[in-house]
Chain A
């Protein structure tokens, strides 16, 4: 009996022990797929179609990601759709992904999400909401409410349940191509997690040497520096925006103090595939300012040593993984696919319902039903889609041609990506360009390297589109701001704004062609339709880095010369400043920008303060509140309190001058009144004598420039300010002293108030 019991207990214990790993194995692996890159790098194409649906070697990008996730053993994928969510969801619903056994794809739609951080926060909230609803449901069933309510709640519950993240998940964006096996990385992650609860994330990296000349990886992203502990593979440092002009990176010396060994890499590529523990979601919620997965989240975790969360890396060797971040990586990854590094996700394998394609010698992929003229030359590493027609004497090499294209005779296509249903008439030349669906190129048109033609653009006869230009039917959205956060905001507003544009564009398509053929005659040649976008920030200077076209020779030589110079300089004296024209002009430009920025800022700031002040006067806001508002403005514009004092004083004087008055004395009276009413506000910024001097200087400036009416009243108003204890005598005297040595023209006001100053001097002497 006892023995039996023991055995039962042992069996139970064994069951419990075996349960644990079993549980891990049984728990279906989940993935969050962000079907939006939250950047604007693929504009203008992404204004009309989401990035994840752009064809990559004739297959929409998201298919590569989903096919890989499916093959890697992920059971459930949440596709998070933001921009153009409708298109993504429609596509997925019509694709085979919804009907796969052992692989469920669910979409989450949200329009007001502007960053990856927001997306993860939303998912976390839904996770939490689930718990709430579960509680609610219990309560409801306890209190025996109406059955109907119960029922609807259950439905709610089920809907929310579908977004539940159970355990570790894979975080990936829908533009990633990979064929790696997750098993090992996942196992490592789980083992680490068991030992150390703070190991929240495993980042997949791959070796890939950056170009020493251009300082960018082969995928066109900036050179990435990572410090990794060679034993534990913990990530210690991550910098993708290193300052190359100086040629240095800064490491916290604590890194060296705390870790016995560090290996610093610049030859690793971040694959943007992360295995995350559920904590990651809550981390995003806790730090509501995390937007970007790398720039904010990873760097934030690395810097934050309070919580002690750790990120680890897993390097893959033989398998492939890359994310399409810009046009250059689009080009590179396409070529990798054609060269079969991504096997089995290659054109001749039907991994996602793509058309049957045959691989021929020298890396030529041909779909069925291609009409090719006998004299047409189709070169190596070319993919030609279903039903495409190629005319005589045309030459095509290193290119991808989509389905249903018509290519005339004597056309030259080199290193280009031509999507579906494009018509290219006779004698066109295309080198290293992207041509979207439905584009028509009239005879003899030429596209220079790096051109991107968005959907349905028409290029006129013999028109030459200049290098790196982007052409779209939609007009360029207004002002790009280089500020990151604004970029996010811009992105979201762009998508909203776009939908309205598209509506009108669709409606008025017919008339648009006729109208725009006149309007854009000078722009895209005869019969051309579309707008050439002006090159946005960074300008042409940076455009070559991220375009589909290879980096031009002269740029390379220029850069390598610059680098040689650099190195010479470094050896000569230790200052790593470069003499090269390129880099200097670069840094100069940026400095100039900075100055301009700060000037702009102060102008904006003054305007803001004035507006706030006027509103306060109109609405009779309490002084304390105005102080609070101005303070917040000061913080957001990063101004000193002297600036505030100046701005507030300026707005007060502006108000005085705007108040209707007939004579100078009346103006003086108005000014006095305003100063009395608002002296508390002004005083709150006059902490030191410097600020008071600032006010006098400001006043002087006003009298000279914007409000000349005050100039005769200068001395009197100065007196008023003195009377109201706004200005102390010290400030006025110091101002007078400072002005002593100035030009005659500058002394006008000192002289005007000479009497007053004299009196002040005497008074102070008397006191002494």
Chain B
């Protein structure tokens, strides 16, 4: 599979050289890459899921190593692994279940596989899940739990029963791959539409004549505010400029273009303004398993100010930003230190950095971290594409999206060699 290797290398390059910005773009491209990896992967007769998982892990490991700070890559790799496991499980249980149903579906052919057997598959998968794993809260709450997650095309395993064994196997392997790819497609669709999904909930949160404060620029926040505006809500927005990259300026521009009443303030004025604010709505870089947030630098300051004045601190995050890892030393290990040139002009300060004189060690050290860590206790609400959640509920969501086996994406030592 030389084609995928080229694709993988290309993507690795981009990741390594920090050419992709934004977790949504990264997540989408990762998913697309994994989809092509899966479709190119040749599947053996036995243990197809294992082969697929190994292939995805092999690629995923490289991707994660390429840019360990961009957590979205790891998230998507784990999501895809989870999808493979789920599909495999549903197929096996369906096969087991198929034994009982076989008499009916004997002469089913490929065409009607897609159509009417969906329900049964979903039901079987749900049944399998409920027997093999404790049900998630969401499954309990929602009536048709996996119908969204399991693609339409997944079908019952019944058809293979009457055929010869080899045909059964090949069709099963094809079916697994097919199902997985469909599910990954759905995942990509989710990632692409996550802004709209989140924005749909805007009206429930933003009320008439409220003052909203945000920091920096986030596409999710932008869409969220637009959606509220479109629903004829009138409100005002304070935008903290988000030094040193000043993306708040861009956000302010776009908001004004859409006719929103906008006030631009410096980051350091946040505390002074927070008492007039009804709600803080910000975007995130990643949401950790404990409900902590990795967000653009300066966010912790805003969160603390909001807490001081009891202003709700709402974080918007697509489900691809949900990371199943717990943060350990997040200020350092999950941070990216960018070039100091964003802070100050090299030429003006070049004499401060003349290491040629004095002790030879630099006296001026310019630090430009890209991210802040906001602890979960400062976050009032997460709004994801599946709805609003409490920080303490995050672990539950994660159990839905990820399988515990994949938390460490590393091939077994034997596979590695």
A residues sitting closer than 8 Å to B (CB atoms) are 67, 71, 99-101, 179, 206-209, 211, 213-214, 216, 218, 220, 267, 317-320, 328, 331-332, 335-336, 339-344, 349-351, 356, 358-361, 363, 380-381, 397-398, 414-415, 432, 549-551, 556
Cross-interface CB contact of A550 among B339, B351, B355, cutoff 8 Å: B355
Bound together, the chains give a CA A100 to CA B347 distance in angstroms of 34
For the complex, is B340 an interface residue (Cβ under 8 Å from A)? yes
For the complex, is B230 an interface residue (Cβ under 8 Å from A)? no
Bound together, the chains give a CA A363 to CA B340 distance in angstroms of 13
Q: Is the CB of A342 within 8 A of B347?
A: no
Bound together, the chains give a CA A214 to CA B19 distance in angstroms of 40
Q: Is the CB of A398 within 8 A of B360?
A: yes
Task: Enumerate the 6 nearest inter-chain pairs by beta-carbon distance, A residue then B residue, closest first.
Answer: A207-B347, A343-B339, A550-B360, A208-B350, A318-B341, A415-B360
Residues of A contacting B1 in the complex (Cβ-Cβ under 8 angstroms): none
Q: Is the CB of B347 within 8 A of A317?
A: yes
For the complex, is B359 an interface residue (Cβ under 8 Å from A)? yes
Residues of B contacting A415 in the complex (Cβ-Cβ under 8 angstroms): 360-361
Q: List 9 A-B contacts (CB under 8 A).
A: A208-B347, A214-B356, A317-B347, A318-B342, A320-B346, A328-B356, A349-B16, A550-B359, A556-B357
Bound together, the chains give a CA A67 to CA B17 distance in angstroms of 9
Residues of B contacting A344 in the complex (Cβ-Cβ under 8 angstroms): 17-18
Contacts known (A318-B345, A349-B16); A550 close to B358, Cβ less than 8 A: yes
Q: Is the CB of B340 within 8 A of A335?
A: no
Cross-interface CB contact of B356 among A206, A218, A340, A349, cutoff 8 Å: A218
For the complex, is B65 an interface residue (Cβ under 8 Å from A)? yes
Bound together, the chains give a CA A216 to CA B355 distance in angstroms of 13
Q: Is the CB of A218 within 8 A of B340?
A: no
Contacts known (A218-B350, A551-B357); A381 close to B362, Cβ less than 8 A: yes
B338 to chain A, nearest CB (A): 6
Q: Is the CB of A339 within 8 A of B340?
A: yes
For the complex, is B353 an interface residue (Cβ under 8 Å from A)? yes
Residues of A contacting B365 in the complex (Cβ-Cβ under 8 angstroms): 339, 363, 380-381
For the complex, is B43 an interface residue (Cβ under 8 Å from A)? no
For the complex, is B152 an interface residue (Cβ under 8 Å from A)? no
B residues sitting closer than 8 Å to A (CB atoms) are 6, 9-10, 13, 16-19, 65-66, 332-333, 337-342, 345-348, 350-351, 353-362, 365-366, 368
Bound together, the chains give a CA A267 to CA B351 distance in angstroms of 10
Contacts known (A209-B351, A335-B355, A358-B333); A101 close to B361, Cβ less than 8 A: no
Contacts known (A101-B9, A351-B16); A550 close to B347, Cβ less than 8 A: no
Cross-interface CB contact of B368 among A67, A340, A350, A363, cutoff 8 Å: A340
Bound together, the chains give a CA A414 to CA B358 distance in angstroms of 13
Q: Is the CB of B66 within 8 A of A350?
A: yes
Q: Is the CB of A359 within 8 A of B337?
A: yes
Bound together, the chains give a CA A179 to CA B357 distance in angstroms of 26
Residues of A contacting B355 in the complex (Cβ-Cβ under 8 angstroms): 218, 331-332, 335, 550
Bound together, the chains give a CA A216 to CA B339 distance in angstroms of 26
Residues of A contacting B361 in the complex (Cβ-Cβ under 8 angstroms): 381, 397-398, 415
Residues of A contacting B340 in the complex (Cβ-Cβ under 8 angstroms): 339-341
A82 to chain B, nearest CB (A): 29
Residues of B contacting A318 in the complex (Cβ-Cβ under 8 angstroms): 339, 341-342, 345-346
Residues of A contacting B66 in the complex (Cβ-Cβ under 8 angstroms): 350
Residues of A contacting B9 in the complex (Cβ-Cβ under 8 angstroms): 99, 101
Residues of A contacting B332 in the complex (Cβ-Cβ under 8 angstroms): 359-361
Q: Is the CB of B17 within 8 A of A351?
A: yes
Smallest CB-CB separation from A216: which chain B residue? B356
Bound together, the chains give a CA A381 to CA B353 distance in angstroms of 14
Bound together, the chains give a CA A216 to CA B356 distance in angstroms of 10
Q: Is the CB of B346 within 8 A of A549?
A: no
Bound together, the chains give a CA A349 to CA B357 distance in angstroms of 30
Bound together, the chains give a CA A318 to CA B348 distance in angstroms of 11
Residues of A contacting B65 in the complex (Cβ-Cβ under 8 angstroms): 350, 356
B116 to chain A, nearest CB (A): 46
Bound together, the chains give a CA A356 to CA B65 distance in angstroms of 8
A220 to chain B, nearest CB (A): 7
Q: Is the CB of B357 within 8 A of A320?
A: no
Contacts known (A349-B16, A549-B360, A550-B360); A101 close to B339, Cβ less than 8 A: no
Residues of A contacting B347 in the complex (Cβ-Cβ under 8 angstroms): 206-209, 267, 317
Most A CB within 10 A of own CB, among B9, B16, B348, B366: B16
Residues of A contacting B346 in the complex (Cβ-Cβ under 8 angstroms): 206-208, 317-318, 320, 341
A580 to chain B, nearest CB (A): 19
A381 to chain B, nearest CB (A): 7
Residues of A contacting B356 in the complex (Cβ-Cβ under 8 angstroms): 211, 214, 216, 218, 220, 328, 331-332, 550-551
Bound together, the chains give a CA A445 to CA B23 distance in angstroms of 52
Contacts known (A211-B357, A318-B341, A344-B17); A339 close to B6, Cβ less than 8 A: no
Contacts known (A207-B347, A209-B347, A317-B345); A218 close to B353, Cβ less than 8 A: yes
Residues of A contacting B16 in the complex (Cβ-Cβ under 8 angstroms): 349-351
A98 to chain B, nearest CB (A): 13
Bound together, the chains give a CA A211 to CA B357 distance in angstroms of 9
